[in-house]
Structure 1
Amino acid sequence: MHELSIAQSVVEAVCERADGRRVRSVRMVVGALCAVVPDSMLFCFELAATGTAAEGARLDLETPAGVGHCRQCGADLALTDPILLCPCGSSDVEVRSGRELTIVSMEVS
């Protein structure tokens, strides 16, 4: 479960930036192609935050869909999983979005 290591890194980063203040919420963008299960990420964040300045903080996840462009036929397509294949059969697909894994903001008190 790689969500746990991601959650631990997020908690470490926000606690460091909080500089001793209590973290109330964290907002992240987690693209659909990152292979991160949102429910698992929420659960792991709660575990990783235990005993830190982020304990009890709310994690808000935005999960944008993947978007790709086929270099073979020129089609733009929705990407729902990491297997990049155009309906035309080509695997020459450029990923334009969906791989984001970013802490966007945090609220502290």
Structure 2
Amino acid sequence: MHEYSIVTALLELCENHAKSNKAKKVTKVVVALGERSGVEPQLLESAFEVFKLDSVCAESELVIETKPMKFRCRSCGAEFLPKGIDFGSCEVCKAPNPELVGGKEMHLQSLEMEAEDEG
């Protein structure tokens, strides 16, 4: 389950951002996850719920924004989102073998943090 190692890296990233922004906790973590990333959203959520407990994200909400597949035609350069399961050709010029340019990503989109009390 590579979701565990992904969550470990994600929490480390959150810890670093919280520290550099002098935040006492992270309240919301937004992740962009491509539908062809190879990461199971439910497993990612489950792992996050378990691993967050000993971190600055202990009380945070995980939001996963799913990013669709996006293709670019190698012939005409058109970019398109596939309609249905047939994405073996360009929807504009019908040339075969378009390049997958979106939907494989997984990255931290944003964080909401609560600042430390300055007293």
Larger radius of gyration: 2
Match of 2:82 among 78, 82, 99: 78
Secondary structure at the residue paired with 2:72?
strand
RMSD: 2.7
2:98 corresponds to: 93
Residue correspondence of structure 1 range 4-15 to structure 2 within 5 A:
4-15=4-15
Secondary structure at the residue paired with 2:56?
coil
Which segments of structure 1 move beyond 3 Å, counting only runs of 4 or more? 69-77
Residue correspondence of structure 1 range 1-109 to structure 2 within 5 A:
1-19=1-19, 21-71=24-74, 76=80, 78=82, 86=88, 90=96, 92-109=97-114
Identity %: 27
Q: TM-score, normalised by structure 1?
A: 0.79
Count, aligned residues: 105
Q: 1-side partners of 2:11 and 2:83: how far apart?
A: 29
- Render the CA deviation track for 1:61-108: whole Å, top value 9, x for unaligned: 100111123437988452889xxx6168x5x33112112211111111
Gaps of 5+ in 1: none
Gaps of 5+ in 2: 115-119
